[in-house]
Structure 1
Amino acid sequence: MFYQNLLIFSFFILLYGLFASRIDKTVISGPVLALIVGIVFGPPFLNLFQSGLKTEEYRLVAELALALVLFTDASKSNLNVLKKNASLPIRLLFIGLPLTIVFGMIAGFLIFKGFSWMEIGILATMLAPTDAALGKAVVTNKVVPVKIREALNVESGLNDGISVPILFLFIAFFTASQSGSGLDTLYGVMLFIKVIGIGLLAGLAVTATIAFIAHLSNAHKWISESWKPILIIALSFSCFTAAQLAGGSGFIACFAGGFLYGTLNQKYKLSNIAVESAEGAGDMMSLGIWFIFGAFVVNTFHQEFTWEVALYALLSLTVLRIIPVYLSLIKTGIPVKDKLFIGWFGPRGLATIVFAIIVLDVQLLHLDTIIITTVCVILLSVVLHGFTANPFIKLLNKK
């Protein structure tokens, strides 16, 4: 069965790779295609793709895929543009993100009866981070103003890492409530600061050290060109695991490390081709996650679908994202249509999948509803954001 699974996925990657550039110009993105093919080949349809991956193994692969994507995306960030427009991602992260979680909790209380505030908080946090890779047509299209592209890229690169300690805080509150013990709020705040701080330090320290060694090795011609992409992949994994082991956010570490690597790459002239090759590896891993997600997760939880789930999913992708973003961008001088564009393009992807896998191990009272809501949001996001990317870019560009 393993070889059959590998054959199916390999053929999918081959066919996608042969037409990737053409596909990117259509309304169907790579994740959309992987999701659809996964659904078709998995149960209850053709039932030819049968994974033996355990939850922990799937989580590890998903985390590493996200780590690599964050690192390579950050390494291509335009530092000069960010210096001029740093306020945009800062507002999105420190005003828009908290408001998104708060609005999500308010909507959750109104829609889901019987949920504790901790479960609502977990759901709202799971659905808060965005995925620039899912909206790649937006963040890579030169027609979109560069300040918008960079703002969306930085936001998606950091909001998942910031959401991690918030998610674990809600989980800790829930676990404490179930055991009858209390949890100090100050402890939660300190935990949040610690996770973010350690993540930043780990990513910057690991990347600075390795980049300097790579510079020396490159100057002496000790590095083989064929190994440079492998070094980027290993560096992203090192940032992630170092931060996780130290008690920090591995995702914050990867984005911070990738951003620093992009800066040092220009200074040391290491290799741009290596970054692009590593990005390709990250894309392939991501497609694998979407493929498996379509084959198994979607078909496993479709029985729990209700009108409450559908309503919350629609709200999560629209007003619960757009209004907080709009409020966070007040008095920035950005045109209304640009604010709405940024608000709309907050697709939910890999980070939300990783969070869903984490929550599967928590004995939540309404776990099935939380997971199916998450699955529904991801599915709707893949379709809506995938199909609207190119048309909305054209609308944005109209005077």
Structure 2
Amino acid sequence: MPTLDISNFNIVCATLGGFVTMFGLVSFLCKEKFYLSEALISTVAGVVFGPNAANWIRPQQYALGSEETLNTINLYFTRLVLGVQLVIAGVQLPSRYLRTEWKPLALLLGPGMTGMWMVTSLLVWAMVPNLTFLHALAVGACVTPTDPILSNSIVKGKFADKNIPKELAKLVIAESGANDGLGYPFLFLPLYLIKYIGDHGAGESGGAAKAMGMWFGETWGYTIIMSIAYGTAVGWIAKELLHWAEERRYVDRESFLVFAITLALFIVGTDGMLGSDDVLACFVAGNAFTWDDWFRLETMDDSLQPTIDMLLNVSVFIWFGAVCPWYAFAHNSVIPIYRLIPLGILVLLLRRLPIIISMHKQIHQIEQLRQALFVGFFGPIGVSAVFYLYISIEFLEKITVDGVQREDAAHLQEVMYVVIWFLVICSIVVHGLSIPLGKIGILIPRTLSNAVSSDRNSDEPAPFHIRSFTEQSLPGILRNRHSNISNPGNVTPHSAATGSTGTNLLPRPLYRIGGSVIRKKSGCQQQQPQKQQETDSDRDAVGTLEQGIAPGNRSLQTPSPAPGMMQPMARPGGAPADDDSSFSGSNPAAVLSPRHTEGQELVLGPRTITFADGSTARGDETVAERSRDE
């Protein structure tokens, strides 16, 4: 008998595959029409599929009920996603970007990050009860870096194409990539101090001197500087090897396109084994890999990297929705919910915005105050904050006294767990809904204004339809076009150019010369006296059909200039045309056949040439040939 195998693996594959498939069907509608980010949609899906609702995604079961194992899964998952994302971010930047734009990046990564760190720490210190400022510095350091995944979703798409300059978008990507790896010094300065001087240094010896020595030596020397050197070396060697293989045609297209992704996996693994900052190394390697812009230009139109990027984004935010401690937000022993919500609002408003506004004049990519407001507000908190959270938890769990975690370290761990997860969720929701809500805020006043205007003007005459130019000037041609096609011999000269008033209504002339269309600058229609109609109609000649011109259409005659020079056009009947109706080209003064096209524009195709002496020639005979014959 066949049996059902409802295992966790099968459930996860079905859930993830089903969601990505269904989301793919409406992805353009959600992202380009409603401006909803895939991070927000995926997080909501994670909540629905997670243990708080459908329970199809079961993080605790995957970790075998161990909180420590679950923390390790979260740490490694975020490391993997950040590593791939930062290599892609580095590859997206133009040639030598870190060298050419080092001044604005230095402002954002130096004073900018320091200011964000201090403001966030002060807000946490003020809102969380019984928390020392040193502990608040550790919390603030985790949310100081801007998230490259959420930033990337903001600077791409239809909204970004219309509202964000390209140079500003590149700066946002570069900042979010670099400050992720540079979050280590901000985090480990308070962590080392907590370890060696917190709780009077219980369980540890060395004091503040050892803490500062560890910070300068291990954090700056080994973690930061070594990761920069390692990423630069690996990226440069990878670029040269790929050049060498491509010149000899050793690499196929598929391997070429996926090269940056595999490079990210290699750096995450090797730099992780060295115990250095693999996140920063990935970003530096990605930029060094495309230092000459060759790989970026070769893969610019390829969709493999964005596809992998999308799959990783969807997966990690579904996981966040499932693993997030929703219950702990309202039920914890460190901060009540009525303090937690204002803390989230204040951090999103004050963490970055005042700092960017204060120094935006020194950043040449930020040209207007409106752009400064945008860059200051959209500094999202996301995957990088969760990554630093679990780096901190791993560090704090090792601060023990007699084999038991020290009390101050345990308290800080709980504060960080609740506050940082809440700030991440706030950023995903607020930054994910800011653009669509802003669009609604613009559209609703316009709709209400239009409705009020309609009510006020209800007693005024109703608007009337104004016929298009072609309907006014050539009613016969438009009305009889299809009948002329079916009856080629049924040609009525006056119906094509005579209006209901009995006067000739000639359209504004349009001339096709090669690939150009030239319109007469003067009025849209010209009138002739009724007594000239018969004379004009006698002078009209029926042009033969061009390819694609409906049979039976009446050609309009325009006289030719004297040989060797261009003359002003003459109206039918001999009336001189305005000077601005003349034109130059290889086929002047052609008899032009009107053709109605989409949008009711009159396109006139040349057929024959009528010269001043009354003789005619084929449309492809040039003026120079005619002059030579004479």
Could you tell me the TM-score, scaled by structure 2's length?
Answer: 0.58
CA change 1:84–1:225 in 2 (3 A) is: closer
Give 1:127's match in structure 2, choosing from 135, 143, 147: 143
Q: Is 1:357 the equivalent of 2:365? A: no
Q: Is 1:378 the equivalent of 2:397? A: no
Contact 1:74/1:259 (<8 A) preserved: yes
What RMSD in Å do the two structures reach over aligned CA positions?
A: 2.7
For 1:40-59, what aligned pairs fall within 5 Å after superposition? Answer: 40-51=48-59, 52-53=62-63, 54-59=70-75
Q: How far apart are the structure 2 equivalents of 1:385 and 1:394?
A: 15
What is the Cα deviation at residue 207 of structure 1? 1.2
Q: Deviations over 1:326-352 (max 9, x none)?
A: 233354464222211110010111101
Give 1:101's match in structure 2, choosing from 117, 120, 137: 117
Give 2:161's match in structure 1, choosing from 142, 157, 160: 142
Q: How far apart are the structure 2 equivalents of 1:326 and 1:69?
A: 28
What is the Cα deviation at residue 66 of structure 1? 0.9
Secondary structure of residue in 2 paired with 1:318? helix
Q: Deviations over 1:242-291 (max 9, x none)?
A: 333344321111111111223345179754466x4134223312321111
CA change 1:147–1:87 in 2 (3 A) is: farther
Give 2:103's match in structure 1, choosing from 80, 87, 92: 87
Aligned to 1:240: 268
Give 1:110's match in structure 2, choosing from 107, 122, 126: 126
For 1:312-327, what aligned pairs fall within 5 Å after superposition? Answer: 312-327=343-358
Q: Is 1:348 the equivalent of 2:375? A: no
Contact 2:235/2:287 (<8 A) preserved: no
Aligned to 1:309: 340
Q: Percent identity?
A: 17
CA change 1:82–1:138 in 2 (3 A) is: farther
Q: Deviations over 1:373-396 (max 9, x none)?
A: 11221111111111223676999x
Contact 2:188/2:219 (<8 A) preserved: no
Q: How far apart are the structure 2 equivalents of 1:314 and 1:50?
A: 30
Contact 1:96/1:324 (<8 A) preserved: yes
Q: Is 1:165 the equivalent of 2:189? A: no
Contact 1:309/1:372 (<8 A) preserved: no
Secondary structure of residue in 2 paired with 1:133? helix
For 1:271-290, what aligned pairs fall within 5 Å after superposition? Answer: 271-272=299-300, 276-290=303-317
Long gaps (5+) in structure 2:
1-7, 64-69, 398-408, 442-630
Q: How far apart are the structure 1 equivalents of 2:265 and 2:216?
A: 27
Q: How far apart are the structure 2 equivalents of 1:163 and 1:393?
A: 34
Contact 1:131/1:347 (<8 A) preserved: yes
Q: How far apart are the structure 2 equivalents of 1:346 and 1:279?
A: 22
| Residue correspondences, number | 395
Name the amino acid aligned to 1:284: L
Moved more, 62-71 or 142-151: 142-151
What is the Cα deviation at residue 173 of structure 1? 2.0
- Look at both structures and tell me which one has the larger radius of gyration over its CA atoms: 2
CA change 1:187–1:81 in 2 (3 A) is: closer
Give 2:281's match in structure 1, choosing from 253, 268, 275: 253
Q: Deviations over 1:109-163 (max 9, x none)?
A: 2222321333211110111111242143432222211232122111110111000
What is the Cα deviation at residue 216 of structure 1? 1.2
Name the amino acid aligned to 1:312: L
CA change 1:58–1:267 in 2 (3 A) is: closer
Aligned to 1:15: 22
Name the amino acid aligned to 1:385: H
Moved more, 172-181 or 368-377: 172-181
Name the amino acid aligned to 1:360: I
Contact 1:68/1:279 (<8 A) preserved: no
CA change 1:200–1:394 in 2 (3 A) is: farther
Q: How far apart are the structure 1 equivalents of 2:216 and 2:440?
A: 43
Moved more, 110-119 or 150-159: 110-119
Higher strand fraction: Structure 1 or Structure 2? Answer: 2
Contact 2:45/2:318 (<8 A) preserved: yes
What is the Cα deviation at residue 7 of structure 1? 1.1
Q: How far apart are the structure 2 equivalents of 1:148 and 1:268?
A: 19
CA change 1:272–1:162 in 2 (3 A) is: same
Q: How far apart are the structure 1 equivalents of 2:297 and 2:360?
A: 36
CA change 1:67–1:80 in 2 (3 A) is: closer
Q: How far apart are the structure 2 equivalents of 1:58 and 1:48?
A: 18
Q: Deviations over 1:46-101 (max 9, x none)?
A: 11221314321231121111110111122111348777654323211111101111
Q: How far apart are the structure 1 equivalents of 2:213 and 2:359?
A: 26
CA change 1:316–1:69 in 2 (3 A) is: same
Long gaps (5+) in structure 1:
none
Contact 2:151/2:172 (<8 A) preserved: no
For 1:197-236, what aligned pairs fall within 5 Å after superposition? Answer: 197-236=225-264
Moved more, 236-245 or 80-89: 80-89
Name the amino acid aligned to 2:52: P
Moved more, 158-167 or 235-244: 235-244
Q: Is 1:174 the equivalent of 2:194? A: yes
For 1:332-347, what aligned pairs fall within 5 Å after superposition? Answer: 332=363, 334-347=367-380
Q: How far apart are the structure 2 equivalents of 1:291 and 1:357?
A: 18
Q: Is 1:33 the equivalent of 2:28? A: no
Q: How far apart are the structure 1 equivalents of 2:99 and 2:356?
A: 21
CA change 1:218–1:297 in 2 (3 A) is: same
Secondary structure of residue in 1 paired with 2:80? helix
Q: How far apart are the structure 1 equivalents of 2:84 and 2:295?
A: 22
